[in-house]
Chains A and B, each alone.
Chain A
Amino acid sequence: MKRIAIDPITRLEGHGKITIFLNDEGAVDNAYLQIPELRGFEKFVEGLPVEEIPRVVTRICGV
């Protein structure tokens, strides 16, 4: 079985990698898109004063 890694995937905002497994005939057995990143905004904005939210969540994606 052959493994092809596309790491990182590029020209987008964020991190990602693609791993493709080929079987003995060279056909795709399976392909996986993985997102190797997390920052946890869902947690650390909890309880933040509402007027401050716009200045924090704009840092989720700056693109």
Chain B
Amino acid sequence: MKLNIGIYWGAACGGCDVAILDTHEKLLEIADMADIHLWPIAMDFKYSDVRAMKDGYLDAVLFSGGVRNSENEEIAKLLRAKTKTMIALGACAQMGGVPGLANMYTREDILKRVYLESESTANTEGIVPLEGAKNGAHELELPRFYNTVKTLSQVVDVDYTIPGCPPASMQIYSALGLIWDNMLPKKGSIIGAGDRALCDECSRKKSEKTITKIFRTHEKLPDAETCFLEQGFICLGPATRSGCGSRCIKSGTPCRGCYGPLDDVADQGIKMLSALASVIEAKDEKDIDAVLDTVVDPLRTFHRFSLASSILRRKKA
């Protein structure tokens, strides 16, 4: 019997949906495996269709995007009720992703910048989005924009996670195969990824690492054969799960950690800091500080995708 699935996005960019489409001809196999009952990017189902489903009607939901506003949370809870298996798809659902960087600011900081201060916005009346508005007899509502970006598992129970920004298309295809073949691992597992660090799969040459300065990409040309970290370029490979196929590394650019942490790591960014600290050439604390001072923008480097799920989580209120 075919599976019944739903595909949805919260605070996302659509890249995860496109990664599903990028399975190319395998999409036909997915269509043979599953009937899709919600997929806003590609199909015309409404929230009312989902509300009309019996609880547990769906076998699986692939939910991409973080939880940025009350609508994201409401639909996440609705889909949780309608599905047997909830799968967080991609870095935003798993860890907040790039939009989770908004947790460096408050809700008011963001609304002010976007609607009042932005150089390309003409808003002489100073209007910011309202949760409720009236125009004569017409009453309209918008979701509440939260102060804090949340991950999917911070608002609903999540059964599995397919990491990546975006997840590699064939990894999504294999993960769907696990559902189809009834081969899903234990609840809470990461599926569609490796279980080693990206470093372990990297083909670049590694020897003893002794970093005395962190370089920015315009400061020197990286050697194409040697480990980025060894050359002084920050690469999140040691703290990042494999499974992406080393897309960035092979394109000549260091990892930023989109596949998230390995099992049993509470905070990917801090894990990376620890990895970095262990390769710094230093005689004393002063030397270490001098090297670390050359890291520009550490928060958005070490927690590029994981701020919302980290132990830091957000700017202090």
Main secondary structure of the interface of A (DSSP, over half): loop
Q: Does B137 lie within 8 Å of A40, measured CB to CB?
A: no
Nearest B-chain residue to A20, judged by Cβ: B138
In residues 3-54 of chain A, which contact B (Cβ within 8 Å)?
A: 6-8, 10-15, 19, 21, 29-30, 32, 34, 36-44, 46-49, 51-52
What is the number of contacts between chain A and chain B, taking CB atoms within 8 Å?
122
Q: Does B40 lie within 8 Å of A8, measured CB to CB?
A: yes
Please tell me the number of chain B residues within 8 Å of chain A, measured between CB atoms. 53
Q: Does A13 lie within 8 Å of B14, measured CB to CB?
A: yes
Question: Nearest Cβ distance between residue B217 and chain A, in whole angstroms?
Answer: 5
- Chain A residues with CB under 8 Å of B15's CB are 59, 62-63
- Chain A residues with CB under 8 Å of B300's CB are 48, 52, 56
8 tightest CB-CB pairs across the interface, nearest first? A62-B15, A40-B110, A62-B13, A59-B98, A43-B113, A44-B101, A39-B99, A63-B14
In residues 14-55 of chain B, which contact A (Cβ within 8 Å)?
A: 14-18, 40-48
A32 to B196 alpha-carbon distance, docked (Å): 50
- Interface segment among B139-147, B151-159, B168-176, B284-292: the answer is B139-147
A52 to B43 alpha-carbon distance, docked (Å): 34
Q: Does B207 contact A (CB under 8 A)?
A: no
Question: Nearest Cβ distance between residue A13 and chain B, in whole angstroms?
Answer: 4
Q: Does A36 lie within 8 Å of B69, measured CB to CB?
A: yes
In residues 90-115 of chain B, which contact A (Cβ within 8 Å)?
A: 97-99, 101-102, 104-105, 109-110, 113-114
Q: Does B297 contact A (CB under 8 A)?
A: yes
Nearest B-chain residue to A3, judged by Cβ: B138
Q: Give 6 CB contacts A-B under 8 Å.
A: A10-B43, A13-B41, A30-B138, A32-B140, A40-B110, A43-B110
Q: Does A30 lie within 8 Å of B13, measured CB to CB?
A: no
Q: Does B14 lie within 8 Å of A14, measured CB to CB?
A: yes
Question: Nearest Cβ distance between residue A32 and chain B, in whole angstroms?
Answer: 6
- Chain A residues with CB under 8 Å of B118's CB are 42
Q: Does B11 lie within 8 Å of A39, measured CB to CB?
A: yes
A14 to B65 alpha-carbon distance, docked (Å): 11
Q: Does B129 lie within 8 Å of A38, measured CB to CB?
A: yes
A55 to B165 alpha-carbon distance, docked (Å): 11
Question: Nearest Cβ distance between residue A50 and chain B, in whole angstroms?
Answer: 8
